[in-house]
Structure 1
Amino acid sequence: MGFAGRLGERLTPRAWLAVVAVAFGVAQVLLVRDLPLGWDESIYASQDDPRRPALLFTAPRARGMPWIAAPLQAVTGSTVALRVYLAVLASVVLYLAYAVWLRVRPDASVPLAALGFGSLWITLFYAPSLMPNVPVALAGVLATGALLCAALRRGPSWLPWAGGAAVAAATLIRPGDVVPLVGALAVAVLLHPRWRRRAVSLLAPPVVGAVLGALPWVIEAQQRYDGLFARVRRAISTQSTGQRFVPDYELRALDGPLLCRPCNRATQPIPLTGLMWWVAGAALVAVAVWLVLRSRPRVGGSAEVAAVGFRGIPRSAVLLPAFVGGVLALPYLLLVGYAAPRFLLPAYALLALPAAQALRHLCLRPSGVVRPAVAGLVAVLLAGQLVVQYRQLTSIVAGSNPGRQHLVALAAAMARHGVSPPCMLIGSDAAPVAYVARCDAVRIKTNPGDEPFTLADLRAEATRQHVALVLRSGQARPSYAKGWKALPAKDLPHGWRVYVSRGS
């Protein structure tokens, strides 16, 4: 037996999970660290950055992501430093979230699930990004695992409240995604005969966590939007496209674009590689669920012993993540009329657990001995999946980088022409440019609850600071900017125009 074989025997599932977490962090730093901030990231990053004005923060957003960035921003405004900081955080949280599951599934399926989720191009792209989806996904894994451990009476007494803290963090970051998470956990507890008797103690941590995590959003709703329901209506209105029941949109966006809004079935084909791993993943989850449902329960002597499924794993350790993961996918598949690959990350993170359990089962004989041929085939397929995900990630990064670098070049060009702090930008694409330029960005006739700003305010600001209109080619110049000075097109990135107020 070679060194790799001996090492594989010596490493425990927990050690393998640590290896996966470290590799996850290294991959992020190597592949994504130099990418400039995107639109949403610029909004979040500006909120607590002492070097920049806070950009317009609309009704759907929550303060969790700005608070995550704040400790680093107190020290530096470097984008690379922020990427590395977020990569380290994501790696630590990946380990903690999946480590909880080792209490109910102490086998290789847990690090395999972490590898399956962490190696997706979507996960690697967004984990070092100042975006909410990966933190919410890992919080869901931790919260679901903590509730399961409490239900099976495995783990210390504080573990359920660690799950509650994860729910609180997810709510601070993205309140809308926590509603189906807590709802799915509640339904699972109430449907299970043994768990139902302890429903209050089992559900108290996630419910308390959700309530506490929602308080800042609710308080801000009262202060800026005349109440919670007014803010919810505003948030839904902002994100609505009027379409429903379009699950194929998520599939069409699986290999990009990063935001499919609007999605066009005529020009956005279903990607073959995406379709293949969706089908393979769904099949593995179905196999895992079928295997546990057909297995014979085994009753122990303790007061409450879970029914044991295949390979000695509690049935609920497969059924619960499959159920909760499926529920988390439904709102984005059926209720949102546009798509982004990142929307389904919370579902993927949980569904990876039953899928990995199915893979482990297929690779082992009933005696527990490895099936060499099957294990070899699975290893080849997993390696192929890793290659596909790597190529997709590098393609997405390469495709995103030029557009974001244009923002940096545009800000530099404006600075050379005198548009420098204090300054204000306006235009539909002004926000990400303003972040790089360290300017403010405004909109005229904003929605209720947003920072009010009128044409009179714009004219007044033009007498106090530099004001510039940022447009892409093809966008019409508004009437209020007809007399503004155009910056030379040769000094600007291709496809952009800038007009500076005469009063600046």
Structure 2
Amino acid sequence: MGNGADAALAGMRRLHAPDRPGPSWTARGNGQLAAVAGAFTVAQLVLVPPGTGLGWDEAVYVSQVSPQAPAAFFSAPRARGVPLLVAPVAAWSTSTPLLRVYLAVLSGLGLYLALRAWRGLFPARVLAGAGALFATLWVTLFYAPQAMPNYWVAVGALACVGCFLRARADRYGRAALWGVAAGAAVMAWMRPTDAVWVTLPLLVLAAFTRRARLAAVLVAGLAAGAAEWVVEAYVSYGGLGQRLSDASRVQGGLGWNFAVDDQMRSLGGRALCRPCTGPWPEPVLILWWCALPVLAGLGLAVAHRARRTIRTLVPLVCATTAAVPYLFMIGYAAPRFLLPAYALLAIPVADGLFRLAATPGGRWRPVGAALVALALAGHLAVQYAVVDHTVDRTAAARRAWARTAAELHRLGVRPPCLLTGHEAIPIAFYTGCASAQTRGNNANTTEAEILRTTRRIPVAVLSGPAGRPPAYARTWEVRRSGDVRIHLAPHGGPA
């Protein structure tokens, strides 16, 4: 009887003890994760050419630290994480290819570190598979080498949740606690409100299980990352409440907005679907998105049978809360908004796919493995087609901005100068000018101030194909660059 009781107790201890991989498993697992991260970096450089010009939002972020142009207006929802991220390169170089290569390498390293946070929680092959699934999504490949915050929220979320689960399983592991704080800080550094949505289930779980230390570390990480954003709210936006209100207004007013269909419309490669009208993408382009909930449910079922329910359920719940504001609270869509959810879903989905393809003992199921391989091959083909189309379309738009900038230079609009109107923010960055708007989400000046500026430096008003210039610029000289009309202020100001 005594021996039987001892054996039962030993079995219970093994069941509830944290997984601690042996040295050989660790070495093999790290190699697989490094291979996935390295391939991800190479894929970015091949599929998203480093010479692709900066986009609209990128111009805003990079201009905060770049010598190329004056800082663009920084609207309320934005945070200073991306400017700080790109500063090591952008602060001294105006080379876009160099910045892209830097971000591609950094994003590969970020993915590797985020996946490492899950060691011991899932088998190495599941983590490598999850990394590959996330890294081969077109939206991940397209945005990881860009000066944008969403990818970094995603890897921060992945690292934070993984370290949270490790810290929860091992009360005495300090490394995991540091990982929780770092992951939370990265998310809040990039997008404070996203960080709150991702970590909400973690805070609830920590409170429910009375893990005060873990909750305190998580809150400390969020506070450290969001501190600058909060301070800036009081310095430049009239207080935290006002900044949150302004951020809501910029995003069209947060509230009940069913945007699931908008997100599906954007899956064909639309960077911003606002307003989200027009035809839906081909069904083959959205099939993977519709399959995600099913595969996530399969992963949860597999985890339950393998007695790792909590470590699968937690990322699923965090992915859900991360997606809620972008599926049900804003009236438009951008595929990059859901990157944190995709990163967190990748591990349960990979776990489920491996179970379809192999037995619990690791032996391949011939039929299941063949079907999974076929489905993944089709999935990769779809992702490649979308990223290729998206890169071509966005590169063409950015070349048009560069041509307009060159035409402005030819017309004598050179730094110091000011642009306003249609697409003024990115074109001003390409030209080296300041940008200003009198209305809309980026309003930061008045017509009177623009007219006063014409007495000091070159000023141009840009109007699109269907737009009209403001009344004060309708008598100015007009030139064209593609579809853009350039209204040049008279030298020395209006008569």
- State the TM-score, normalized to the length of structure 2: 0.90
Check the 8 A contact 1:254/1:271 in 2, yes or no.
no
Q: Which of 476, 490, 493 is equivalent to 2:468?
A: 476
In structure 2, runs of 5+ residues without a counterpart are 1-24
Find out whether 1:259 has 2:259 as its counterpart.
no
Q: In structure 2, how many angstroms separate the alpha carbons of the residues matched to 1:127 and 1:291?
A: 30
> Secondary structure of 1:453's match?
coil
Percentage of pairs with the same residue:
38
Q: Which residue of 2 aligns with 1:409?
A: 403
Check the 8 A contact 2:206/2:212 in 1, yes or no.
no
Q: Which residue of 2 aligns with 1:285?
A: 296
Q: In structure 2, how many angstroms separate the alpha carbons of the residues matched to 1:434 and 1:366?
A: 58
Q: What are the Cα deviations for residues 183-237 of structure 1, in whole angstroms up to 9, with x where unaligned?
A: 121223345xxxx03x211222221111111111111111112210011101101
Find out whether 1:377 has 2:371 as its counterpart.
yes
Q: Which residue of 2 aligns with 1:13?
A: 29
Q: Which of 63, 66, 81 is equivalent to 2:80?
A: 63
Q: What RMSD, in angstroms, separates the aligned Cα atoms of the two structures?
A: 2.0
Q: Which of 83, 92, 114 is equivalent to 2:100?
A: 83
Find out whether 1:162 has 2:179 as its counterpart.
yes
Alignment of 1:85-484 (within 5 A): 85-153=102-170, 156-191=173-208, 196-197=209-210, 199-240=211-252, 244-264=257-277, 267-293=278-304, 295=305, 309=307, 314-444=308-438, 452-484=444-476
Check the 8 A contact 1:103/1:155 in 2, yes or no.
no
Relative to structure 1, the CA distance from residue 366 to residue 478 in structure 2 (aligned partners, 3 Å threshold; closer, same or farther) is closer
Which AA in structure 1 matches 2:249?
S
> Secondary structure of 2:218's match?
helix
Q: In structure 1, how many angstroms separate the alpha carbons of the residues matched to 2:391 and 2:259?
A: 27
Check the 8 A contact 1:14/1:111 in 2, yes or no.
no
Q: In structure 2, how many angstroms separate the alpha carbons of the residues matched to 1:246 and 1:134?
A: 21
Q: Which residue of 2 aligns with 1:25?
A: 41
Q: What are the Cα deviations for residues 234-275 of structure 1, in whole angstroms up to 9, with x where unaligned?
A: 1101111676123211111112311110112xx231541233
> Secondary structure of 1:98's match?
helix
Larger deviation: 428-437 or 145-154? Answer: 145-154
Number of paired residues? Answer: 466
Larger deviation: 362-371 or 430-439? Answer: 362-371
Q: What are the Cα deviations for residues 112-141 of structure 1, in whole angstroms up to 9, with x where unaligned?
A: 000000000000000000111100001000
**How far is 1:69 from its partner?**
0.9
Q: What are the Cα deviations for residues 301-324 of structure 1, in whole angstroms up to 9, with x where unaligned?
A: xxxxxxx52xxxx22221111111
Q: In structure 1, how many angstroms separate the alpha carbons of the residues matched to 2:83 and 2:188?
A: 14
Relative to structure 1, the CA distance from residue 340 to residue 201 in structure 2 (aligned partners, 3 Å threshold; closer, same or farther) is same
Which AA in structure 2 matches 1:336?
I
Q: In structure 2, how many angstroms separate the alpha carbons of the residues matched to 1:162 and 1:94?
A: 14
**How far is 1:10 from its partner?**
12
Relative to structure 1, the CA distance from residue 162 to residue 291 in structure 2 (aligned partners, 3 Å threshold; closer, same or farther) is closer
Which AA in structure 1 matches 2:259?
V
Larger deviation: 425-434 or 361-370? Answer: 361-370
Relative to structure 1, the CA distance from residue 446 to residue 125 in structure 2 (aligned partners, 3 Å threshold; closer, same or farther) is closer
Q: In structure 2, how many angstroms separate the alpha carbons of the residues matched to 1:317 and 1:205?
A: 19
- State the TM-score, normalized to the length of structure 1: 0.89
Check the 8 A contact 1:149/1:155 in 2, yes or no.
no
